[in-house]
Structure 1
């Protein structure tokens, strides 16, 4: 049987025509998809600008399905999920991005940073820490370190926090020496209260003083440690050094200076320190401590209480008025308790401390604000004096 070449000659044009038609159909479909994907993207953007997040998510999902290789759509979708609190879906989007072999290094770093934010928002702190550590050497490195610093502070892992703060300082982000001193003070408190190791606590506090001589907390904490072991002279010397190194903190230790000065036989010197501090910046706590010092030195209470009056002539103070009134006789019998209670009730809010960063108020002084976690954001003055 002879092979008929006429069939081949006849079939070639047909095959060519079919291939051409198929290619045209593919191109047409590609054009349609390319037109639809931007349309869906811009539709989602429009919804987003109008704060219609549900419709925006639907539009972005449609766009991603039509063009799964577009990373920007994935980032937009993942960010929307996170803002809505759908952290699991946000994690899946960003993990999908990281699994792509064709993703550029820039987008890979961006996806890693977004994934870390997903874990943070979801409260998965261990996974967030792992994701943040993978950002070393990227353009997100400093941001990741700052977030890690916050995580370690919240976990009260002071050694890790100190290590991260050291890296940030080396990188030139800021001066973290004052914060490092706080970390050492926290470790000293743990050594004393949890491990019952006063020698280790003292060593850490001395290290904090050497590292940040202008910090008030290490000297105050060390004075308390020494006083707790009846080293009254050493405790007094630590508080006395605040006059030169951290004079703004004197109101915080005024009463303690009187107590320790009396125990160490240096009450007169303590009173001189308080007088100099008050002359620079009149404070109700220092005025109160001066009254206490006079009473401890044997001055009659009626005379010592004049210190409150002297303070009120300089700085009007409901707190000082209440303390002066507490020992003032009344002409009308029985009126004193009611008046005293009323003044103390009115003065109580004024005797609080207030965070300058977030406005959190507290009866006691905090080195780190319980509200916003800022360090040394509480001025060492009562609200009444601010």
Structure 2
């Protein structure tokens, strides 16, 4: 049987037409998908600018599905998830980016940094630490060191914090000497608690040499010297500090008074405190003066007449002449006798209750208040953010 070539000749044009139609269909589909991706991207951007994060996320997810190779869409989507608190989804996005073999070095470092931020915001400090350590030697190294420093300070790992702060200090982009001195003081506190006073003293001396103008190393050293019954050394330390850091005197005025009494230098301490009080009145300095049996300098007419010898309690009246103070008024009234003395305890309790919040310290960075003075704010983790004065005096 002979083969009929007629059918072959007819099938060639038909195959060509079918191939051409198929290619046109694929091309249209490709063009449609390419148009859909930027449309979804711009729609998501518009939602983002209008602070409609839910709709923006939906639009970006659609754009990523249409164009899964676009890194910028993944970064935008991951950052949106993190801002919304959906840290698990943000981690998945950035881990997916890191798993891609075609990612450039710069984008890989960027994804690693974003992943570390996801762990930080989620409170997964161990995983954040591991992610940040992988950024050493990259463009994000300085930012990673700052984040590591915050992690170590928050978890009170002072040895690691000191090492990171030293690296940051070496970059010369900012000075971290004061913070490194704080780290040494914190380590000294731990050594004191463990009974290693000699090691603690060496650390405090190192901190003082590192930040000679910072008041904390000297204050902590004086406290350690008092614990070791060396009142003369403690008084000498605080007397020298009063010349370098007079504004911080309210923080250590009571300790100065205690060391002076124990060392037999009460008269010298009283003169020093009275002089500093005259320069900058403070309730803490006032109480130290009164504890030493003195009265601070007063404005004319603030104290009883010269015929009546002033007593230490009159110091509160002298303080009221310098500045209004509910605390000073309450302390003065506590020692007074009145016609209706039977009601005095109730009135005094009410005044003490009212003045208790006024004796707090307040962080200048976040407003966190505490009766104890903090060098490291427990609210915002800032250093040296507490003024050395009570809330009433701010």
Counterpart residue number, 1:191: 191
Q: Runs ≥4 in structure 1, deviation > 6 angstroms?
A: 1-11
From 340, 343, 346, give the equivalent of 1:338.
346
Between 62-71 and 178-187, report the one with greater CA deviation.
Answer: 62-71
Preserved CA contact (<8 Å) 2:270 2:294: no
Between 96-105 and 204-213, report the one with greater CA deviation.
Answer: 96-105
Counterpart residue number, 2:61: 61
Give the Cα separation in 2 of the matches to 1:301 and 1:372.
49
Give the Cα separation in 2 of the matches to 1:43 and 1:213.
57
Counterpart residue number, 2:168: 168
Give the Cα separation in 2 of the matches to 1:316 and 1:65.
68
Give the Cα separation in 2 of the matches to 1:196 and 1:4.
108
Aligned length: 382
Q: CA deviation at 1:88?
A: 1.6
Preserved CA contact (<8 Å) 1:295 1:301: no
Q: 1:343 to 1:65 in 2, by over 3 A?
A: same
Between 113-122 and 328-337, report the one with greater CA deviation.
Answer: 328-337
Give the Cα separation in 1 of the matches to 2:235 and 2:323.
29
Between 202-211 and 129-138, report the one with greater CA deviation.
Answer: 129-138
Q: 1:306 to 1:20 in 2, by over 3 A?
A: same
The 5 Å alignment of 1:1-386 reads 15-193=15-193, 195-294=194-293, 303-386=311-394
Q: CA deviation at 1:83?
A: 2.1
Give the Cα separation in 2 of the matches to 1:57 and 1:378.
41
Q: CA deviation at 1:308?
A: 1.7
| SS of alignment partner, residue 113 of structure 1 | helix
Give the Cα separation in 2 of the matches to 1:162 and 1:330.
58
Give the root-mean-square deviation of aligned CA atoms.
2.4
Please report the TM-score for the alignment, with normalisation by the length of structure 1.
0.92
Q: CA deviation at 1:50?
A: 3.6
Give the Cα separation in 2 of the matches to 1:3 and 1:58.
61
Please report the TM-score for the alignment, with normalisation by the length of structure 2.
0.90
Give the Cα separation in 2 of the matches to 1:356 and 1:350.
15
Between 9-18 and 325-334, report the one with greater CA deviation.
Answer: 9-18
Preserved CA contact (<8 Å) 1:222 1:235: yes
Structure 1 residues 122-148: Cα deviation after superposition (integer angstroms, max 9, x where no partner): 221111111112222333222211111
Preserved CA contact (<8 Å) 2:53 2:80: yes
Give the Cα separation in 2 of the matches to 1:325 and 1:83.
54
Between 12-21 and 116-125, report the one with greater CA deviation.
Answer: 12-21
Q: Which blocks of at least 5 consecutive residues in structure 1 are unaligned?
A: none
Preserved CA contact (<8 Å) 2:208 2:217: yes
Between 211-220 and 128-137, report the one with greater CA deviation.
Answer: 128-137
Structure 1 residues 340-368: Cα deviation after superposition (integer angstroms, max 9, x where no partner): 22322222221111111111111121111
Q: Which blocks of at least 5 consecutive residues in structure 2 are unaligned?
A: 296-307
Preserved CA contact (<8 Å) 1:205 1:221: yes
Give the Cα separation in 2 of the matches to 1:189 and 1:181.
12
